[in-house]
């Protein structure tokens, strides 16, 4: 089996990028594109090594450091696996014990770019994309010397840059948020203002570039099978932190000024219009992932490939993607159809074990841009929204089952306490549950048009998902 190796001198790699959120997605996306960029730029490429920081996984930092920051990417094609060794991480650090600390690393003059993949919930935003000043982690960060959240770390680092009078790095948010660059800029300036430093907020707004980006690659969690496959491919060399990923790779980045790696070498596109790509991806890919994840979990289908292979759920998801989730996507109708076909093919990839419980995490931070924005547009245009109603009812049911400990997977959501309380208080009252969920403006935004009607529809579906067999409901809904 051919094994792709980094084609540059690893010992000469220097760090020019600081990354926050060293998870599997980052290691299958930005690091891979940066490796290609380093290889393509023989003169200056080596300045673009990455210092990759994790905020929550000291074990991963230790493991990567033990492996000289090298790891294996397993590109899972339906017909077989391509094995590549990735070496573009120059250093891995854990926020908790990092010296000199992430703000100082950000302010290092060699750091020209900061990238982030801390997941949608890592920004602590409300449904309208502002910093959630009431979030516990934000409250704690406002009074801490060493910030723990992404907005806190960025604000502290940029404050140092301003004080030392150097050129600020470009900040590239690589998470699935609507207008992610603009949104992150606002979260950071909100954070600076909450700390009472309006001048810093103004300086950041004026001097720091936060281009929007759209990132796309399906990257599941690493399984023991992945580790075993790597052992088989590499022989004696052991890698305890390989990353499996699908073949698809997309990175659309808003134009910005300043030095940067030649990411085009891996297919990245620079454009002045990220918004169209982003909306298509957030709604048609991520939104459809959510219906497959929640309804799949209720129907006993643990992975996305299992869920799309179910004839009824596969049909519902495809229809939801094409007819509801394409609302407001500014592609020609042929392009929407082609994009949807490509997405369904990716979802079917049997070599990707993408678990529903993982996608289901942090639903309260994902709902607004992925589901409610197109739902609202459809309702305003007088179009029906059966898929969104099923999805929201499925989410509530999924949450209620977690609350009753009837699912054997862990529940992770930044608003878990409130949502759990609603489920517990209104245990047998579907209407009260649906209404209380929908009334959480920080999740769903302002009331939907014809709010009462939609609350009743969701409650009706919730009742069916609770009292009838989920398979029967799906067959019925698939038509
Ligand atoms: C998924 C994404 O977990 C989720 O929310 O929808 O991680 C999805 O796999 C990626 O955005 C694909 O690019």
- The verdict on the CB of residue 289 being under 6 Å from ligand 1 is yes
Domain boundary among 251, 271, 291: 271
Domain boundary among 232, 249, 271: 271
Do residues 332 and 314 lie in contact, with contact meaning Cβ atoms separated by under 8 Å? Answer: no
Shared domain for 183 and 197, answered yes or no, is yes
- Count: domains in the chain: 2
**CA 38 vs CA 9, 34, 43, 74: distances in Å:** 10, 6, 9, 20
Interval between CA 217 and ligand 1 midpoint (Å):
8
pLDDT tens digits, one per residue of 359-383:
999 999 999 999 999 999 999 999 9
- What the block records as the tokens of 322 is 């094409």
Do residues 241 and 258 lie in contact, with contact meaning Cβ atoms separated by under 8 Å? Answer: no
pLDDT tens digits, one per residue of 213-226:
999 999 999 999 99
For residue 236, the model assigns a pLDDT of: 80
- The verdict on the CB of residue 217 being under 6 Å from ligand 1 is yes
The residue whose C-alpha atom lies closest to atom 8 belonging to ligand 1 is 218
- The verdict on the CB of residue 266 being under 6 Å from ligand 1 is no
Domain that holds residue 44: 3-271
Interval between CA 154 and ligand 1 midpoint (Å):
24
Atom number, ligand 1, closest to the C-alpha of residue 289: 6
Of 71, 95, 380, the closest CA to residue 230 belongs to 71
pLDDT, mean of residues 429-453: 95
Taking the C-alpha atoms of residue 31 and residue 86, their distance in angstroms, rounded to an integer, is: 8
Shared domain for 212 and 71, answered yes or no, is yes
Do residues 120 and 371 lie in contact, with contact meaning Cβ atoms separated by under 8 Å? Answer: no
For residue 411, the model assigns a pLDDT of: 85
Taking the C-alpha atoms of residue 387 and residue 434, their distance in angstroms, rounded to an integer, is: 16
Long-range contacts of 472-475 (CB under 8 A, 24+ apart): 474/295, 474/299, 474/310, 474/312, 474/313, 474/316, 475/312
- The verdict on the CB of residue 218 being under 6 Å from ligand 1 is yes
Sheet holding 71-77, edge to edge: 3-4, 80-86, 71-77, 243-245
pLDDT band for position 427 (cuts 50, 70, 90): confident
Does the structure show a pLDDT above 90 at 426?
Answer: no
Does the structure show a pLDDT above 90 at 50?
Answer: yes
Please, what is the average pLDDT of the chain? 96
Interval between CA 175 and ligand 1 midpoint (Å):
9
Does the structure show a pLDDT above 90 at 386?
Answer: yes
pLDDT, mean of residues 102-127: 96
**CA 296 vs CA 309, 359, 389, 406: distances in Å:** 10, 11, 15, 15
CATH, residue 70: 3.40.50.720
Shared domain for 193 and 282, answered yes or no, is no
pLDDT, mean of residues 20-42: 98
For residue 428, the model assigns a pLDDT of: 86
The residue whose C-alpha atom lies closest to atom 6 belonging to ligand 1 is 286
Shared domain for 267 and 279, answered yes or no, is no
Taking the C-alpha atoms of residue 340 and residue 319, their distance in angstroms, rounded to an integer, is: 10
- The verdict on the CB of residue 84 being under 6 Å from ligand 1 is no
Shared domain for 249 and 202, answered yes or no, is yes
Interval between CA 171 and ligand 1 midpoint (Å):
21
- The verdict on the CB of residue 179 being under 6 Å from ligand 1 is no
Shared domain for 179 and 316, answered yes or no, is no
Shared domain for 211 and 307, answered yes or no, is no
- The verdict on the CB of residue 286 being under 6 Å from ligand 1 is yes
pTM (2 decimals)? 0.95
CATH, residue 317: 1.10.1040.10
Does the structure show a pLDDT above 80 at 1?
Answer: no
Interval between CA 298 and ligand 1 midpoint (Å):
19
ipTM score of complex: 0.99
For residue 354, the model assigns a pLDDT of: 96
Residues with Cβ within 8 Å of residue 186, at least 6 apart in sequence: 129, 130, 131
Does the structure show a pLDDT above 90 at 316?
Answer: yes
Cα-flanking dihedrals φ and ψ of residue 213, to 5°? -140, 160
Atom number, ligand 1, closest to the C-alpha of residue 176: 11
pLDDT, mean of residues 295-308: 97
Interval between CA 327 and ligand 1 midpoint (Å):
19
pLDDT band for position 208 (cuts 50, 70, 90): very high
The residue whose C-alpha atom lies closest to atom 10 belonging to ligand 1 is 218
pLDDT tens digits, one per residue of 227-281:
999 999 999 888 999 999 999 999 999 999 999 999 999 999 999 999 999 999 9
Beta pairing, strands 15-20 & 113-116: parallel
- The verdict on the CB of residue 176 being under 6 Å from ligand 1 is yes
Interval between CA 289 and ligand 1 midpoint (Å):
7
Shared domain for 27 and 78, answered yes or no, is yes
Shared domain for 69 and 188, answered yes or no, is yes
Atom number, ligand 1, closest to the C-alpha of residue 358: 3
For residue 187, the model assigns a pLDDT of: 98
**CA 329 vs CA 281, 319, 333, 368, 478: distances in Å:** 9, 15, 10, 16, 24
pLDDT tens digits, one per residue of 135-186:
999 999 999 989 999 999 999 999 999 999 999 999 999 999 999 999 999 9
For residue 408, the model assigns a pLDDT of: 80
Interval between CA 37 and ligand 1 midpoint (Å):
24
- The verdict on the CB of residue 216 being under 6 Å from ligand 1 is yes
Shared domain for 396 and 302, answered yes or no, is yes
The residue whose C-alpha atom lies closest to atom 4 belonging to ligand 1 is 359
For residue 127, the model assigns a pLDDT of: 86
Domain boundary among 228, 254, 271: 271
pLDDT tens digits, one per residue of 34-45:
999 999 999 999
Shared domain for 367 and 249, answered yes or no, is no
Shared domain for 78 and 28, answered yes or no, is yes
């Amino acid at each position: 089996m051919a094994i792709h190796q980094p084609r540059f001198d690893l010992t000469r790699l220097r760090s020019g990028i600081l990354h926050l959120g060293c998870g599997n997605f980052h290691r299958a996306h930005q690091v891979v594109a940066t490796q290609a960029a380093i290889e393509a730029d023989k003169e200056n490429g080596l300045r673009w090594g990455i210092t990759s920081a994790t905020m929550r996984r000291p074990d991963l930092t230790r493991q990567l450091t033990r492996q000289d920051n090298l790891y294996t990417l397993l590109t899972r094609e339906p017909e077989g696996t391509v094995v590549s060794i990735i070496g573009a991480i120059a250093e891995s650090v854990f926020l908790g014990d990092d010296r000199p600390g992430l703000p100082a690393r950000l302010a290092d003059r060699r750091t020209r770019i900061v990238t982030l993949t801390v997941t949608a919930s890592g920004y602590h935003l409300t449904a309208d994309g502002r910093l959630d000043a009431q979030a516990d982690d934000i409250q704690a960060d406002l009074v801490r010397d060493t910030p723990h959240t992404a907005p806190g770390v960025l604000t502290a680092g940029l404050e140092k840059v301003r004080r030392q009078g150097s050129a600020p790095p470009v900040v590239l948010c690589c998470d699935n948020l609507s207008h992610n660059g603009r949104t992150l800029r606002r979260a950071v300036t909100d954070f600076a203002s909450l700390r009472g430093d309006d001048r810093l907020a103004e300086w950041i707004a004026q001097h720091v570039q936060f281009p929007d980006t759209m990132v796309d690659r399906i990257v599941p969690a690493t399984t023991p099978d992945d580790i075993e496959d790597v052992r088989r491919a590499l022989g004696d060399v052991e890698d305890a932190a390989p990353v499996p990923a699908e073949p698809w790779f997309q990175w659309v980045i808003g134009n910005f000024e300043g030095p940067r790696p030649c990411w085009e070498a891996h297919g990245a596109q620079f454009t002045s219009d990220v918004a169209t790509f982003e909306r298509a991806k957030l709604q048609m890919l991520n939104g459809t992932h959510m219906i497959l994840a929640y309804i799949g979990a209720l129907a006993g289908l643990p992975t996305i490939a299992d869920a799309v292979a179910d004839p009824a759920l596969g049909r519902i998801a495809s229809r939801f993607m094409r007819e509801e989730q394409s609302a407001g996507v500014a592609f020609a109708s042929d392009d929407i159809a082609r994009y949807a076909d490509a997405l369904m093919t990716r979802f079917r990839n049997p070599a990707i074990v993408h678990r529903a419980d993982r996608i289901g995490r942090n639903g309260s931070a994902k709902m607004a841009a992925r589901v409610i924005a197109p739902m609202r547009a459809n309702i305003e245009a007088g179009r029906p929204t059966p898929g969104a109603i099923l999805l929201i009812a499925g989410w509530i049911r999924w949450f209620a089952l977690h609350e009753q400990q009837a699912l054997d997977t862990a529940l992770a959501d930044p608003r878990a306490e409130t949502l759990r309380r609603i489920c517990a208080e209104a245990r047998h009252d579907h209407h009260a549950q649906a209404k209380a969920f929908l009334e959480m403006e920080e999740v769903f935004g302002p009331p939907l048009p014809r709010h009462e009607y939609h609350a009743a529809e969701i409650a009706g579906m919730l009742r069916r998902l609770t009292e009838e067999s989920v398979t029967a409901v799906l067959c019925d809904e698939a038509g």
